[in-house]
A and B are shown apart, each in its own frame.
Chain A
Amino acid sequence: MSTARGYREYPQRYRYEAAVCDGCGKWHFPPRLICDACKSETFTPRAMRRTGTILTHTVVHAAASAFADQAPYAVAIVEMDDGPRVTMQVVDWRTGELKSGQRVKLEFRRISEAGPAGTITYGYKAVPMSLLA
């Protein structure tokens, strides 16, 4: 990922900033420029709570090239407690913790790096809440 491409999304990748529609109150993550529910074009940025629930998941064995070292790795669609459904990796899970309905918390992790000399892209991943004391 180019440095500028990662940089402009820090509010979302680092702070889970959603756009809450001023028209209908729907939470959009990632933010939209026009609400798909009410067509409003004004939003208020708000950070999502870091908690959610796994809706569906997979364990990717044939990895995308940037993730080859992590294979096999889990990816899930997580329904955040504030509403948005977000695609993300699930990490630090053990057998039985990767399932629909599993409560997760977002953690700040490395997502990818542009080779050993390039920039590191950071963002959110889900961690099963059963292991958070």
Chain B
Amino acid sequence: MIGRGLKVLALAAALALAPVHGGLQAQGLVADASRHLVAITTGFVGTEVLLFGATEGEGDVIIVVRGPARRVVVRRKGRHAGIWVNDAEMTFRDVPSYYWLASSKPIETLLRPASVDRHGIGVQHLRLAAVGKVDADDLAGFRAALIRNKVLNGLYTVRPRDVNFLGQRLFRSTVYFPANVPTGSYTVHVFFVRNGSVASAQTVPLTIAKIGIGADVYRFAHASSALYGLIAIAIALLAGLFAGVIFRKA
């Protein structure tokens, strides 16, 4: 772990010292992730990814990691004849399936509220649009419930995690992806903040994908679902008959 950290720091230092060639790197900021592909294999129980980089001159860093946007249905239960039944629902589109946030100092001391909102920093500033006509009073409740449930599932971070500076220019932070992390294309937005506004920003791509036999099974189940069903039945029949024969002899 320490060895890897040192290697990463060396790389970060090299990046920082190297002449900037433009391209992906924004002015005054270089950032990257320890890997760009998180593989969900059969033994996957969640994983950490190191985010690191260097700034040109003094300042602070805010990092936002977003998962692919999805459409989410939020349902509300009400009590009818003594039992709890889903009786209201609201659909939100473009909901980030994952949202993680880190900052080197409390965000309210770094940025003006207007910029915090403009850059969508913090779950309360997410632009969650409800589909269709909705009651304004209901909206707040459903919106809060969406965020609350995402936090409960470990997919949303409300309180910013730490971004640590090593010296004045090198920074690092560790993002955690839990076992139930949605797959797809993620974006890591790194903001370099100076004097109350975003001086520069950089986006690092990150992909979370199922790899290996589990992924093959998933793809097969969706691509050739009829054949998958038949194979599932065949496996169950064979296993059942096999067990019946074995235990008869025993």
Q: Do A and B bind each other?
A: no
B residues whose Cβ falls under 8 Å from a Cβ of A: none
